[in-house]
Chain A
C-alpha cells in the first residue's frame, strides 16, 4: 500500500541520480525517458488503487497519523499524478531532440526528474509543512532548468522568477507557522477538524488569506502573475512546456486542496475574494496575450487567463463548479504543454518564435498546422474538443450560481482566446515567410521528427479523446469533486476511521490517552491548557 503511494516520488528521484551520473553520454536522456515511463506506470497503478479502494493513505516511517508525515491520494491527487506522468513522458521524449549536449552535460535530465518528483510529492503529501518542502524541491529544480544555458534573456527572466517565487514561499512558510500555532497540528486531514475548534476564527481567515497569496503567486493569478510572462518564454522549449503544464497547476492544486479541506470556515469571505481574483485573472491574462507578438509570450499569458477558469471553479464552490475545475485542470495541462511543444517545432523549422519573423508553416508543414489547431481550438473552447466541455461545465456552474457577469466574462475571454490563436495562425501559419524561406518538417532528421512530433501527436490525440468521449472524464471529475466537498473519506483514510469521532478533545491529536509531550499543552486556545502554565 505504501509503495503505491511512495513510488511516484521515489522513481523520479532514483532516475535523477542515474541521469546525473550518465549526464555526459546518450544514456542520460534515455534513462530520463525510461524513468518517466516508469513514473507513468506507477501513477496508473496508484490511480487504479484509488479508483478501487477510495482514498489511499500511508504513514511514512510508521509514525501515527497526526504526528508523522502522511502520503495520501484521493481522486484529485491521483489524477494529477497520472497527468504529471503523461506530461513528463511526453516532454522527456521531446527533450531527446530539443536539449543539446551542453545542457545535458549541465544536468538537464536530472533537474527535470527532480522537478517531476517535487510535483508528485506536492500532489501526494498530506502534511502542510511537507507540502512546503515539496514546493521547495520543485522550485530549486525549476530555477536550475530556467537558467540552464545561461543566456542573457534567461538570466533576466530568471531573476524575476526566482525573487517573486521566493517571496511567496516565505509567506507560505510564515502561514504554516501561524497555522501550527493556532491548531497544534500540521496534518491536513487533522487540520480539517482542528480549524473548526479554533477560538478566534477571524485570525484563521487572516492565515487563509496568507495562504491564498502564497499559492496565488505560484498559480499566477491576478495581480500576482507578473513573474510568469517575464520568464516562461526564455528557457528551452521542453522546459517551457513542462513549466506551463505543471508548475502553475501545482499552485492551483494547493489552492483547491487547502480551500476545500482546511479553510472552509468563512467561505463567504475567502471564496468571494477568489471569485474576483478569478474574473480579473481571466481578463488580464487574455488582454496581455492580445498585446503580445511572440508565439511563446502569447501562450504564457494564456496560462494566466486559463488559471482564472480553474480558480473560478474553486471560488463558486458548488459541486458542479468543482467538477469544472478538476476537468479544466486535467484538460489544460495536456493542451498547454502541447502548445509549447508545437511552438518549439515552429521555432526549429521557421527559425524564430517572433510572429513577425516567421510564416509559411501551413503551406510547407501542414501536419504541424493540424497539430497546432487541435490544442489551440481546445484552448479556446471549440466543440467538440476537451476545452469546450471544461468551459461548458464552468459556465453552467456560474449561471446556476447566478454569477451572470462572471459567466459573461468567461465567454468573452474564450472569444478573445480565439483572437490571439488566430493571430498566431495568421502570422506563423498562413502568412508567407518574410525571408522567403520554406519551413518544412523534412528539414529535421528522421529521429528528430519522431522525437518532436510523437509527443505532440499523442497529446493532441488525448485532447480529441477527452473531447469526443467526455462522459467518463466528467463522471470521474464528479467523483473527485464530491470527495473534495465532503472530505470525510479523506480524513478517515488519514487518521483511521475509529479516531475521527474521538476528536472532540481540544488538542486535535487522535490519541488523547498518550501524554502529549510537545508544547501543545501550552497552547492558549484550549481552556484546560491555560491553567497548565
Chain B
C-alpha cells in the first residue's frame, strides 16, 4: 500500500513539475495544487498505513489497547489541507485580478515590476 501511494506521489509531482514549467500562470497554479496534494500524501504515508484500525480509545481507558492507526499525520494533513485551500483561493483570486488588470497570463509578459532595460529604452 505504501508503495502504491509512493508511486502516486511521484506521478503527482511529475505532473505538477510539468505544469509549473509552463509560462501560463494558471497552469502553474494547477501544478501547485497537485504538488500540495502530493505533499499531503507524503505526510499521510509517513505515519505508516494501518488499515481498519481507527485510533479510538475504549471508554475508561487512557490509551488504545491494540495497535491503531497513527492519528497525528492525519491531523497534520488536515491542517495542511485547510491552509492550502486558503492559500489557493487567494492565489486564484490574485491570478484573476492580474489577468483583468494586465490582460495576460503569460509570465514572460509580466514585466511591469521589472521592465526590460529601463535606461536603454528612452535613448532609442
| B112 on the A face (CB < 8 A) | yes
Q: Considering only CB atoms and an 8 Å cut-off, how many residues of chain B contact the other chain? A: 51
Q: Are B102 and A519 in contact (CB under 8 A)?
A: no
Size category of the binding interface on chain A: 35 or more
Q: Are A156 and B70 in contact (CB under 8 A)?
A: no
- A230–B55 Cα gap in the complex (Å)? 47
Residues in B whose Cβ lies below 8 Å from that of A519:
47-48, 50, 68-70, 72-73
Q: Are B47 and A163 in contact (CB under 8 A)?
A: no
Q: Are B39 and A174 in contact (CB under 8 A)?
A: yes
Residues in A whose Cβ lies below 8 Å from that of B48:
181, 519, 522-524
Residues in B whose Cβ lies below 8 Å from that of A156:
98, 102, 110-113
Stretch at the interface among A147-155, A268-276, A494-502: A147-155
Residues in B whose Cβ lies below 8 Å from that of A533:
67
Q: Are B80 and A173 in contact (CB under 8 A)?
A: yes
Residues in A whose Cβ lies below 8 Å from that of B91:
162-163, 166
Residues in B whose Cβ lies below 8 Å from that of A177:
39, 42-46, 73, 76
- A516–B97 Cα gap in the complex (Å)? 50
Centre residue among A150, A171, A174 by max chain B CB count within 10 A: A174
How many whole Å from A52's CB to the nearest CB in chain B? 35
- A342–B42 Cα gap in the complex (Å)? 46
- A293–B120 Cα gap in the complex (Å)? 12
With A159-B98, A231-B113, A293-B118 as known contacts, state yes or no: A173 contacts B43, CB within 8 Å.
yes
- A178–B41 Cα gap in the complex (Å)? 11
- A256–B93 Cα gap in the complex (Å)? 35
Partner of A180, one of B28, B47, B94, B102: B47
| A229 on the B face (CB < 8 A) | yes
Partner of B35, one of A170, A176, A230: A170
Partner of B67, one of A150, A163, A178, A532: A532
Q: Are B107 and A173 in contact (CB under 8 A)?
A: no
Q: Are B94 and A162 in contact (CB under 8 A)?
A: yes
Interface residues of A in 222-240 (CB under 8 A from B): 229-231, 233-234
With A153-B113, A229-B114 as known contacts, state yes or no: A522 contacts B70, CB within 8 Å.
yes
Residues in A whose Cβ lies below 8 Å from that of B98:
155-156, 158-159
A interface, CB within 8 angstroms of B = 129, 132-133, 136, 139-140, 143, 147, 150, 152-160, 162-163, 166-167, 169-171, 173-174, 176-178, 180-182, 186, 229-231, 233-234, 293, 354, 356, 514-524, 532-533
Cβ contacts A to B, 25 pairs, < 8 Å: A129-B76, A139-B87, A150-B101, A152-B101, A156-B110, A159-B107, A159-B110, A163-B29, A166-B87, A170-B36, A173-B43, A173-B80, A174-B38, A174-B42, A177-B44, A180-B47, A229-B114, A356-B119, A517-B55, A518-B47, A519-B50, A519-B69, A522-B70, A524-B48, A533-B67
With A177-B44, A233-B113, A516-B63 given, name 9 new contacts (CB 8 A): A150-B101, A159-B95, A177-B39, A177-B76, A180-B47, A180-B72, A229-B114, A517-B64, A518-B55
B interface, CB within 8 angstroms of A = 20, 25, 28-29, 32, 35-36, 38-40, 42-48, 50, 55, 57, 63-64, 67-73, 76, 79-80, 83, 86-87, 90-91, 94-95, 97-98, 101-102, 107, 110-114, 118-119
